[in-house]
Amino acid sequence: MTLPDDRASAVDALADRFWEAILELNPTTATVYGDERYADRLEDPSPAGRAKGRKLMEETKAAAEALPVDDLSVEERITRDMLIVIADQAIEEDDQGTHRLRVVDQISGPQTLLPQVCQFQPADTPERLEKFIARLEAYRDYMAANADILREGLDTGLTAPRIVADRTVAQLERLLAIPLAEAIVPALAKVTNDAARERVRKVTEQVIYPADQAFLDVLRGDYLKATREEPGLWSATNGESLYRTQIRSWTTLELDPSTVHQIGLDELALIDEGRRAIASAAGAASPQEYRQRLLDDPANTPSTKDELLDRAREDIDRAMAVAPRFFGRLPKSGLEVMAVEEFKEKDAPFAYYFPPAPDGSRPGIYYANGYDLPSRKYTKLATTTYHEAVPGHHFQIALEQENPDLSTFRRLGARIVGGAYVEGWGLYSEKLADEMGLFRDDGERFGMLDAVAWRAARLVVDTGLHALRWSRQQSIDFLLETGLSETDATIETDRYIVWPGQALTYLIGCREIERLRAELATRDGSRFDLREFHDQVLGHGSLPLATLSRELPNWVTTPA
């Protein structure tokens, strides 16, 4: 049976209407994607703004469920399913009031928004400058609404852990201590002359600093006294249910925390075998002794941030050179390497990635963190670069955005569905880098195994903190034993505390991709084509893991 044109397009039309509404509700997301229609606005975290988001999810869910699935194409069926999954998750989180937890966040909380936006929003024409100034002016109401969420958390008893609040307070204090002449927003603003920059500086003085100060006053006052001493989500009201929701939100799977905890322990045992083999071949008595050699090797430590960035660029160039042997399709978008901004480097991960603008006006950006430079080792940088940049997130996200066969929602908005596909591909890419011959020596291979062990440890630590009642120090100690530095073990633990469930995405997603690869290689034998496998894994955009598992065997074909 052939579908009528209007029936065949109904799913994509609904998805694109949904994505358009998401951009209007999240104007800074639109800016990141190069869409300037809402460049004079910020998000509305007030009850009215949240109600608009809730209404969108309820209406989208009802409309998607009303679409008959018979005779839909594979991509249309996937799109319909994804809209329902996203809407269900958003409605459940709204019911639980998770916005009360997210308002206090040292990594991506409201106080980090404007410095990030400045890097993506041009203010190089009179019209663009006026929109940018209007957006900065909107920060007053934006932060006031976020302060109201703090008060809502106090009233309901759903507050952040003390360590997260402490870190957020310290970050705001650092921001406000910066002299106006050196303020971050004016310094980062993409303006073309001193007069325009002075206008930005005036708004910073009159709006941004006072708004941050007002938010800090509430956070540092009664709120701080009411924060949770125990870091795990279990200590919050309805904490067990909250954590299970977050696991499903991040992985798209129903997973029992105790089962996930054991998977992490089992994976660590397997990884230790590989680390012991490398250490033994180098004449070291243990992986710990070999790791210490790497830590003590002066050649393994960049002496400047520029050296760190140059090494990352070199690794990306080497990966791009061999990528055609492993991928049939390569992204058209370029990739730049930049340092994490100093104001947030103390709280930021070792590295992370921002996608390119869909219209090609801005490349992807790989941020490397030069904080505590003696702890930033090349043996860790290599595997991180292959995860975040090439062939990791840059390939996956850029190819998704550039795919002409996907609807706008599937190209740009599908990552809302959860992080397990995205981060699973990132971790898979670290292991793939070894197959690609990208690691220079056994030291970098050992760094890769340490990184994989770290992701296995995340399963142990995240479930330990949020379900099994671990202390913060237990998590730090466990990560130190896994091979992380003191700096990274502390930053990462506090990241897991503030983002429950996110740490599970990496290994859970990677295991599913590896399982499917092994299954298809067994099915197809000598005809198995690794390039075809990779092209199909990346050829349909971000997916729920259950969808990937169901559909991928039908997509990967073998040559006749």
Per-residue pLDDT tens over the stretch 442-470: 999 999 999 999 999 999 999 999 999 99
Q: Can you give the three-state secondary structure of 405-417, one letter per residue? A: CCCHHHHHHHHHH
**Can you tell me the mean pLDDT for 386-395?**
98
How far apart are alpha carbons 461 and 264 in whole angstroms? 9
The pTM for the full model equals: 0.89
**Can you tell me the mean pLDDT for 490-496?**
94
Per-residue pLDDT tens over the stretch 45-98: 999 999 999 999 999 999 999 999 987 888 899 999 999 999 999 999 999 999
User: Which helix H or strand E contains 353, and what residues bound it?
Assistant: strand 351-354
Query: Shortest CA distance to 160 belongs to which of 494, 489, 471, 479?
Result: 494
How far apart are alpha carbons 519 and 516 in whole angstroms? 5
- Rounded mean pLDDT of the chain? 94
Q: Which residue has the tokens 């237990």?
A: 474
At 180, list the tokens. 């106006």
How far apart are alpha carbons 466 and 478 in whole angstroms? 15
Query: Shortest CA distance to 499 belongs to which of 233, 149, 168, 151?
Result: 233
375 or 1: which leads in pLDDT: 375
Positions of E strands within 280-346: 335-339
Confidence of residue 479 (pLDDT cuts 50, 70, 90): very high
Phi-psi region of 484 (alpha: psi -120 to 50; beta: other; left: phi over 0): beta
pLDDT at 7 over 60: no
**pLDDT of amino acid 45:** 98
Farthest CA pair distance, the chain: 70
Q: What pairs with residue 338 in β-bridges?
A: 367
User: Which helix H or strand E contains 244, and what residues bound it?
Assistant: helix 239-251
Lowest average pLDDT, out of 113-122, 203-212, 341-350, 520-529, goes to 341-350
**Can you tell me the mean pLDDT for 380-403?**
96
What b/e readout covers 23-37, taking b as 16+ CB neighbours within 10 angstroms? bbbbbbbbbbbbbee
At 357, list the tokens. 């603008």
How far apart are alpha carbons 314 and 385 in whole angstroms? 10
How far apart are alpha carbons 337 and 257 in whole angstroms? 37
How far apart are alpha carbons 66 and 391 in whole angstroms? 39
